[in-house]
Structure 1
């Protein structure tokens, strides 16, 4: 009886903690200004969702902020996944105290928060403060530890005989990584992609200090617009903006989720 109830309890909890906030965002984004002053779960008397989305798209500088978010997120995620998986492969295959220390240092970024003041001062010395390249470097440095942590454990489950067979056929280290290891990392890299995209896409704290208003991202733009009073008491527009921000992440989640399932099932068949 308990085993039958566990899946039902999990579904109910997921519906409560995920479904209710999502429902509130959607229904509030579809209300008028007066109805949205006190956000509730009630349906709007008349749906204004399309009008609100059109208003925030035209008045909230969303196209420019969307371009800024993509300009920062895409290179950061690519760099983190590529170099993180390379480092994880080397650290997973090497033994000894030196490599154990390097691995510990590599994943220390998960528990040791970076100092914002130091980051900003360093970027100013390098001439990268207020630039997309500087922001990409900050995100890469912060989340590289996450990829190393995830991928290292996964690489250790891959049989070494696959690499040895490739080396017998004359493949070098680069070829072994690209042709043998990287295709097998798709499930764990898909999971890491979801997490890193979520962190980078919703970041306001580091973007505020590093970019300093020279480049807009979606969450930073929402913060600035709301602080300027344009959306003051316009909760219907704020929630509509949040809904627009969430759509790209939902697309990434759906695509990456399919990759995870495909990777697991193909590995099981093999």
Structure 2
């Protein structure tokens, strides 16, 4: 028993050390570089700054190009909130229907759901469709793109979670006179809270940090998102590493805060869906 306990303790210590090296060391490098002056930051040395310029770099980043970083934060927040809201709503409805109602169409729908996880998105046809709808280079267009690309992940989680909800609850609500809409929104949806929190947090971080979709489907300085602002501080002629790393630090803070506060809910939602599925 002592050998087993000692082995478990050693494994735990090694896991902590690996976590520190993989996650905390890069974050520390970003922070100290963001706090340096331009000449010192350009050396890319992992050392404390001789002159702290943390606040000056924050002001410089936020005021660059008439405050493009602030506009980018607003755009990314709007896109994230709208896209994740659509994802959660449709994932909950589709996942519930797929689990509760068996029909000949289920196999076809499941194929397309899995295809959404496996097949990469086609950029050119998507741009062509957006142009036809008049949504190319618009925030609503990117919202629809983001809501669609992450939908399969949410559907699978919700479907696995709904499998653990007794059908008797649905039947009791129907006997009490609840229609399909009232049954879903007043009875089923509150029970999906753990898995929906998981989807909200994971997909919010994914959408907020999305770079490729914003680059392809939302070009233009007025439509900039936070990830695209990194171009402002790095080019072939000049690299302002202190401002670049400060921008990275500011972009990292919102997702980091979400994971810190909702870490337990994420794990609970993922494991509940896995066990009940």
User: TM-score normalized by structure 2?
Assistant: 0.87
1:219 aligns with 2:227: yes
1:150 aligns with 2:152: no
- Is the 1:187–1:261 Cα contact (8 Å) retained in structure 2? no
Report the alpha carbon displacement of residue 90 of structure 1 after superposing the two structures with TM.
0.6
How many residues are treated as equivalent by the alignment? 262
Q: CA 1:260 to 1:183, structure 2 compared with 1: closer, same or farther past 3 Å?
A: farther
1:9 aligns with 2:10: no
Q: Which residue of 2 aligns with 1:182?
A: 189
Q: Which residue of 2 aligns with 1:268?
A: none
- For 2:8 and 2:205, the matched residues in 1 are separated by 33
1:47 aligns with 2:55: no
Deviation per CA, 1:192-237, whole angstroms, max 9, x where unpaired? Answer: 22221222112221111211215111111222553486xx231111
1:72 aligns with 2:79: yes
Helix, strand or coil: the match of 1:241? helix
1:199 aligns with 2:206: yes
Gap runs ≥5 in structure 2: 1-5, 271-277
Q: Which residue of 2 aligns with 1:267?
A: none
1:246 aligns with 2:267: no
Q: Which residue of 2 aligns with 1:233?
A: 239
Report the alpha carbon displacement of residue 243 of structure 1 after superposing the two structures with TM.
0.9
Structure 1 window deviating more from structure 2 (134-143 vs 185-194): it is 185-194
Deviation per CA, 1:98-149, whole angstroms, max 9, x where unpaired? Answer: 2132122123111111100011111111111111111111111111111112
Alignment of 1:42-191 (within 5 A): 42-59=47-64, 61-191=68-198
Gap runs ≥5 in structure 1: 265-270
User: TM-score normalized by structure 1?
Assistant: 0.89
- Is the 2:205–2:255 Cα contact (8 Å) retained in structure 1? yes
Helix, strand or coil: the match of 2:150? helix
Root-mean-square deviation over aligned CA pairs = 2.2
